[in-house]
């Protein structure tokens, strides 16, 4: 706001004309930025080939050249996608708050509630460190336990960073599959937990906590505010994940260049039935954000690992994270935590096998 004031003061002659022109100038600038982005993005592969094979003069057959070409192409591509998508998601999330989501979910029946809970889990801004207050806020104000779980499963599993990486490295089909099956798992797992009537396994003090009635602070957000929120999201998320993205792509590049073709086929291929449960078991205690794991996974897929196995591994790593489960231990008794991990784990297994069979 202060910059507007300064600008108006700097051009006292025509502040009105400037105010009227501002949205137009802004739109033109955005358009120019989008065009530049697209031009750069669509020429990245040519640039990478030129740099590695012409400028560095490396032989296309060498493992090192192939690894470097992979990195030089994938790293800027993923970073560029990340910038745009995180910005857009930041703007979408400005339309949702945990309070609004709670109001939408309170008193919902099963089934419809689970569908809605999962979808809202994707778009509601949520940090796993506030999982506990959010859980209490939900269940004490009439959001059914199963619906709350649908939300809590979808929120970490389907995140923008994972989707960008999947889209960038695997294409839209795999990204779409991940989105659809992730949502399905959140819906069904939440529904199952709701049907099992496990309220008795929530710590007793949770339901005794009285929430003050009108607690939420609703603030009106203007469009300039939403743009600022998008920018903040970029600063926050991209600023946090870029080292993991680059490290992940570097490891992926190494696998791409040096691991022999079809090396993974025997270990993570379709033929090995035990690979899916193993992938889930290894994935659950692994705590990595989507940014670090997906480039590695892409390289594995290229070397003959089966897509279902790879998807199952990824979902187990991202969706069932140990730290979040430990945080939830404050409000959930052990049997409920075990049920939660069990139900989601089985869902991931089914998805893994399904893709191995279908594709």
Partner 1 sequence: MKIEVLGPGCPKCMSVEQNVRKALAELALPAEVEKVTDIQQIIQKGVMSTPALVIDGKVVLQGKNPTVDQLKQLIAKGQG
Residues that bind partner 1 (CB under 8 A): 97-99, 102, 125-127, 129-130, 132-134, 136-138, 205, 209-212, 214-217, 236, 330
Minimum CB distance to partner 1 smaller for 52 or for 134: 134
Angstrom CA distances, 160 to 215, 240, 283, 296, 344, stand at: 29, 14, 20, 18, 20
Q: Minimal distance in Å, beta carbon 98 to partner 1?
A: 5
Q: Minimal distance in Å, beta carbon 280 to partner 1?
A: 28
Minimum CB distance to partner 1 smaller for 134 or for 290: 134
Q: Minimal distance in Å, beta carbon 156 to partner 1?
A: 15
C-alpha–C-alpha distance, residues 240 and 242, integer Å: 6
Minimum CB distance to partner 1 smaller for 200 or for 239: 239
Q: Minimal distance in Å, beta carbon 150 to partner 1?
A: 17
Contact 163, 178 (CB under 8 A): yes
Q: Minimal distance in Å, beta carbon 18 to partner 1?
A: 23
Minimum CB distance to partner 1 smaller for 156 or for 257: 156
Q: Minimal distance in Å, beta carbon 335 to partner 1?
A: 21
Minimum CB distance to partner 1 smaller for 134 or for 193: 134
> Which residues are registered as beta bridge partners of 332?
202
Contact 303, 264 (CB under 8 A): yes
Q: Minimal distance in Å, beta carbon 149 to partner 1?
A: 16
C-alpha–C-alpha distance, residues 151 and 145, integer Å: 10
Q: In the numeric block, which tokens belong to residue 315? A: 């979902």
Taking Cα atoms as reference points, which of 297, 322, 11, 324 lies closest to residue 162? 297
Contact 301, 270 (CB under 8 A): no
Q: Minimal distance in Å, beta carbon 157 to partner 1?
A: 19
C-alpha–C-alpha distance, residues 188 and 344, integer Å: 9
Minimum CB distance to partner 1 smaller for 51 or for 327: 327
How many other β-carbons are positioned within 10 Å of the β-carbon of residue 61? 7
Contact 225, 40 (CB under 8 A): no
C-alpha–C-alpha distance, residues 35 and 42, integer Å: 11
Beta-carbon contacts of 225 under 8 Å, excluding residues fewer than 6 positions away, are 94
Taking Cα atoms as reference points, which of 109, 98, 45 lies closest to residue 75? 45
Q: In the numeric block, which tokens belong to residue 117? A: 């809970």
């Amino acid at each position: 706001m202060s910059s507007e004031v300064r600008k108006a003061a700097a051009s006292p002659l025509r502040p009105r004309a400037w105010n009227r022109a501002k949205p137009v100038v802004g739109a033109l600038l955005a358009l120019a930025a989008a065009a530049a982005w697209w031009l750069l993005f669509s020429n990245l592969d040519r640039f990478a080939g030129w740099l590695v094979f012409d400028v560095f003069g490396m032989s296309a057959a060498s493992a090192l050249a192939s690894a470097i070409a992979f990195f030089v192409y994938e790293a800027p591509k993923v970073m560029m996608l990340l910038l745009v998508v995180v910005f857009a998601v930041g703007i979408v999330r400005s339309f949702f708050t945990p309070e609004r989501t709670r109001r939408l979910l309170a008193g919902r029946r099963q089934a419809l509630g689970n569908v809605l809970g999962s979808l809202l889990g994707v778009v509601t801004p949520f940090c796993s460190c506030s999982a506990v207050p959010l859980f209490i806020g939900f269940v004490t104000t009439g959001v059914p336990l199963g619906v709350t779980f649908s939300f809590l499963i979808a929120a970490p599993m389907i995140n923008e960073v994972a989707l960008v990486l999947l889209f960038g490295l695997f294409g839209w089909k795999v990204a779409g599959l991940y989105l659809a099956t992730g949502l399905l798992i959140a819906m069904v797992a939440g529904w199952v937990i709701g049907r099992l009537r496990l309220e008795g396994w929530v710590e007793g003090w949770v339901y005794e906590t009285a929430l003050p009635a009108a607690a939420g602070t609703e603030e009106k957000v203007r469009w300039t505010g939403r743009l600022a929120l998008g920018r903040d999201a970029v600063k926050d998320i991209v600023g946090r994940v870029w080292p993991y993205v680059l490290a992940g792509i570097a490891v992926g590049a190494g696998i791409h260049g040096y691991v022999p073709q079809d090396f993974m086929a025997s270990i993570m291929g379709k033929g090995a039935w035990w690979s899916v449960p193993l992938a889930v078991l290894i994935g659950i205690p692994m705590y990595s954000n989507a940014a670090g794991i997906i480039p590695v996974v892409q390289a594995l897929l290229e070397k003959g690992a089966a897509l279902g196995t790879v998807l199952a591994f990824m979902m187990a790593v991202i969706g069932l994270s140990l730290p979040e489960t430990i945080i939830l231990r404050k409000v959930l008794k052990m049997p409920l935590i075990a049920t939660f991990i069990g139900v989601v784990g089985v869902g991931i297994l089914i998805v893994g096998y399904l893709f191995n069979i279908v594709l």
